[in-house]
Structure 1
């Protein structure tokens, strides 16, 4: 049974619009544009068009619709098969295997001098070779399947139909998202295709002539998923969600991850040695952070200090009224004379300072800081302060590289 076609058979006597005129004036919905008046040859998606099944030496191709583009001047043919088509594949060569090609082919007497205007399923015979290749598709045809025919293939030793190769490429209306596994180049800038679960949505970049896994939105564009998830550009290099964003699994960020609410982590680092000349507490350089009312923060860090045995280095904190800060500095206590000895492990409060025992200006002693800050009803500034434990003519020093991390957890 021949296939169905539009504007292929001769017009009635008496004139009127010609078949070629109608093909060339086809609407953009007929297929993917490849030029000003040409369309991409391809299968129209929907179910499994032109599916292939085989039994013995017989191939059966299922129903489907397609667009077959001829020459630019010829136009594109919209064709269809409304019933499965079967073809008997000839036996193998006897010496070498071959690869046959199944195509949908248009015969048009006005163009190719064929005796009949028709659309058929056709086998294009391959050449038997030790390493066979598929034959080229004839003009006016659309490749569907490659079938490998072994040298010994016959009714008694039939074709291995699992070894077939899918050659179907798909075509969709202008602006539509293409589908299917074909590896053809795109045909116009900003064309999209969906290649399934492994590759997903891709965009054709005409400038670089490549498919890219990108979806472009303007600076005010938003991605909305359901009624409760929204992502948008808040500022240059900033991605924001109006509310909570939950990631179940691994989140990889190539660049800077900035959080302004729960999960926000900030580090303070002393850039250079800070002289601490008296018992009066002074703000440590770069060691202050804004905190919000009701917020809960984990405070960790490593503090380095030096000074005389008598002076030591006092460490303390300031926070908004009503805040609670429980902290422990694991360090040598006041009166230390060596780098090894007893350490402070008891818990201190916001109102308490602790003395890092120093043993001379040439030795840096360290304090490991761990604490939990719960801000009261008023937000403000949380900061670290330092001073001498006892007045000494030789200043104590808060060493460069000392740092504190403040992470909001509630």
Structure 2
């Protein structure tokens, strides 16, 4: 029967009593889970004076040569799901010695804390917990061997070609890369680890990444300050994590629309050209003739209201009295016209005497937090009338 208990019946009392695997599998002092029957392997955090995340099982070298030290500490090592999680302790400082480097190529070794259990892996013929060096294969660009089941990696050690005691050994300031990661009791907050790629064990688990509290949402770690309803601090997010998320960007609040960040309080759109040109078309055109800037356009982002005020203006004159020129703006979205030119939304300059004219009109019903473009449009009273327009501008102001 698969129902097994711990601390109920002692194995010495009856053959159906508690076994060692019963003790490991039963939820007594449950560590952070990684599955229904498995726990997160890792080092138990803590330091003597509380200044550091963890002192335990630190790998370091303090003398020239090929020998390193491993500090005492406690850890949990998950075996196979059937074997359970093994609590392991190293009670004293322990030395480990690396083989000499290959004559031609470097290699990468791993320092492991490993559990052998002949009950579940009879091929090994061993039942013990050990510190072990998993020697890598020499290569021009070496990679470490995979971490075996029933083991955790404490450090990665780079062994250069030709390294030996006779050549000065390893440069411990550069050779060791710390690979320890922490584990805590179920419901506890995982301490900062160098292994940032470790997945959470369940949705709702928390960890400290040294600067922020993060929550595992079932697929990734999400920093708590920028979780739903939070504002991400400056520099924390290149891309948003959900549509409607906000971030601080240089003191300006921005909203993630699902693909790009948009200013939550949009800036005024503006376009201007002070080189004069003329229009002789009796229908609306978006360019004038005889100028260095035939067309002008102002890009703008709509506010949450979807409403803006568009202002157009220019300095206009005509060859004869009674003739006129007009300017308005066409509103486009991704090139498509959403609001065409219309004389009721136009500024008009009539007659020979040059004068400035301005007109403002309201546009509503635009998509919030969306980039549009306002393009200048012009017309003349007759094809024979070279209607001059100068100092043209478009201004688009958000209506909040």
1:203 touches 1:215 (CA, 8 Å); kept in 2?
no
- 1:30–1:173 Cα contact (<8 Å) kept: yes
In the alignment, what sits opposite 2:323?
A: none
The 1:170–1:366 alpha-carbon spacing in structure 2 relative to 1, beyond 3 Å, is: farther
How far apart are 1:58 and its partner, in Å?
0.8
The separation in 1 between residues aligned to 2:92 and 2:70, in whole angstroms, is 9
Q: Does 1:187 align with 2:201?
A: yes
Q: Take 1:131 and 1:359, find their aligned partners in 2: how far apart are those partners?
A: 77
Residues 201 and 214 in structure 1, CA contact (< 8 A), matched pair in contact too: yes
Q: How does 1:122-141 map to 2 (within 5 A)?
A: 122-141=132-151
Residue 67 of structure 2 is aligned to residue 53 of structure 1: no
Structure 2 distance, partners of 1:150, 1:402, is: 66
SS at the partner of 1:136? coil
**RMSD over equivalenced CA pairs, Å:** 5.0
Secondary structure of residue in 2 paired with 1:169: coil
4+ residue runs of structure 1 moved beyond 6 angstroms? 236-239, 301-307, 401-407
Match of 1:344 in 2: none
Flag structure 1 segments of 5+ consecutive residues without an equivalent. 1-6, 224-235, 240-246, 266-300, 308-357, 369-400
1:110 and 2:124 matched:
no
43 and 359 in structure 1: CA distance in 2 versus 1, 3 angstrom threshold: same
Relative distance call for 1:179 and 1:27 in structure 2 (3 A) is farther
Residue in 1 that maps onto 2:25: 24
Q: Tell me: CA distance 1:83–1:258, structure 2 relative to 1, closer, same or farther (3 Å).
A: same
Q: 1:367 to 1:192 in 2, by over 3 A?
A: farther
**Conserved 8 A contact 2:77-2:88:** yes
Unaligned runs of 5+ in 2: 1-5, 47-52, 232-242, 255-260, 269-310, 318-348, 359-392
CA distance in 1, matches of 2:190, 2:355: 65
Answer with 117-126 or 170-179: which moved more. Answer: 170-179
Q: Distance in 2 between matches of 1:173 and 1:364?
A: 82
State the structure with more CA Rg: 1
Alignment of 1:121-160 (within 5 A): 121-157=131-167, 158-160=169-171
In structure 2, the CA distance between the partners of 1:403 and 1:193, relative to structure 1 (3 Å rule), is same
How has the CA–CA distance of structure 1 residues 402 and 25 changed in structure 2, closer, same or farther, with 3 Å as cutoff? same
Q: 105-114 or 39-48, which moves further after superposition? A: 105-114
Please, what TM-score do these two structures have when normalized by structure 1? 0.50
Q: 1: distance between equivalents of 2:150 and 2:398?
A: 70
1:95 Cα deviation after fit: 3.9
Counterparts of 2:116 and 2:139, CA distance in 1: 30
Per-residue CA deviations over 1:165-196 (Å, capped at 9, x if unaligned) read 33323323334345213123333334444434
1:392 paired residue number: none
Quickly say closer, same or farther: Cα 1:248–1:125, change in 2 above 3 A: closer
Task: Please list, as runs of the form range in 1=range in 2, the aligned pairs for 1:3-402 lying within 5 A after superposition.
Answer: 13-15=12-14, 16-27=17-28, 29-31=30-32, 33-46=33-46, 47-48=53-54, 49-54=56-61, 55=63, 56-113=65-122, 117-157=127-167, 158-161=169-172, 162-175=174-187, 176-177=189-190, 179-182=192-195, 183-197=197-211, 200-206=212-218, 209-213=219-223, 250-253=251-254, 254-258=261-265, 360=351, 365-366=355-356
Cα deviation for residue 69 of structure 1 reads: 0.6
Q: Which has the higher contact order (CA 8 A, sep 6+)?
A: 1
TM-score, length basis structure 2: 0.52
Q: Does the CA-based 8 Å contact 2:253-2:264 persist in structure 1?
A: no
Do the aligned partners of residues 45 and 364 (structure 1) sit closer, same or farther apart at CA in structure 2, a change above 3 Å counting?
farther
Query: Which residue in the other structure is 2:308 paired with?
Result: none
Q: Contact 1:170 / 1:179 at 8 angstroms: preserved in 2?
A: yes
Aligned residue pairs total 269
1:304 and 1:364 in contact (8 A); partners too: no
